[in-house]
Amino acid sequence: MNEIVQIPEEFIEKTTDFKSLIQCLKEAFRKNVTTVPMRHHHDFPNPEVGEDSTLLLMPAWNPSEDAGVKIVTVSPANGQFDLPAIQGTYIYLDATTGSIKALLEAKSLTAKRTAAASALASSFLSRKDADSLLMLGTGALSANLITAHCAVRPITKVYVWGRSLAKAQKVVDTLCLPKHIRVEAVTEYRSLVSEVAIISCATLSKLPLVFGCDLVSGQHIDLVGAYKKDMREADDEAVQKARVFVDTFQGGLKESGDIVLPLSTGVLQREEVLADLFELCGKGHQGRETTAEITLFKSVGHALEDVSAAAYYYGKYTNEK
């Protein structure tokens, strides 16, 4: 029996090149040969902290090529324990024999592939000259989203906002970006919304943070948080003003309040969700059509991204040995 490779967070953090990871995901979505069942989503009570946790099981396989399953818990109250909300492990399998090839630390894997998926969407949906970014949220995803967006657009100015200025500054301090990119932690963000080309949001907010009344033509909104049906990062007016895209129709139409709630009230019609990453990467839809339109991308995550990223890091790890 082959030894099971352990791929730690440190390796994932050290070896990630977002341009190549984004290209890896682009090819996987373009080829569209991976089988991805609807992920298991189970909320369970957490009386210790008075707020539910969530268990997610995300399998995927490409016959005789790749297979794997991610096991993740999301506990929004983990801040009081000084722990990230997301915990988990990715089990990367030999798709022919079913044996385990590797165990990957899932928090970093998830952060990297999620950020890469948002940047992939941005490569189709944001203006090619997008030079500024507002990051709402200070969790593990924030620095990754900033770095990934900077990999596909000529960004020179980044603002970071969170409910804690100290946490926003910590995100700024951890970034390793080219010197020409200026990054600033801010205490107030709404006055900045109209000044930036891209707004990226990765929070656990149950109330909107992005408001349609603040948006201006030509912007791209990247919504990554709000993973449950009762959570929202953008209000109805923002959804109505934008041309809407999702990572996948399978999950994007069913899991997040940013899409589910507008659909349920008639604010958004199903046919107004224009395309997903399969269609964008497969050239079934061109994405942005004019410089003036506002685009909105909603990501809830997809197991194709996980198995593709696992293969990416497994290849890097074994090539170094």
Bridge partners (DSSP) of residue 273 are: 244
**Residues 232, 203: Cα–Cα separation, whole Å:** 9
Q: Are 262 and 236 in contact (CB under 8 A)?
A: yes
pTM given for the model: 0.91
**Partners of 154 in beta bridges:** none
Distance of CA 214 to the CA centre of its chain: 23
Closest CA to 238 of 253, 216, 260: 216
Instruction: For residue 108, give the amino acid letter.
Output: S
Q: What is the CA radius of gyration of the chain?
A: 19
CATH of domain 5-109+304-320: 3.30.1780.10
pLDDT of 263-315, one tens digit each? Answer: 999 999 999 999 999 999 999 999 999 999 999 999 998 999 999 999 999 99
Q: Check: CB of residue 114 under 8 Å from CB of residue 178.
A: no
pLDDT digits (tens, 9 = 90+) for 79-93: 889 887 878 899 999
- Lowest-confidence range among 75-84, 119-128, 149-158? 75-84
**Look-up: residue for tokens 């722990």?**
83
CATH fold label, 110-302: Rossmann fold (3.40.50)
Domain ranges of the chain: 5-109+304-320, 110-302
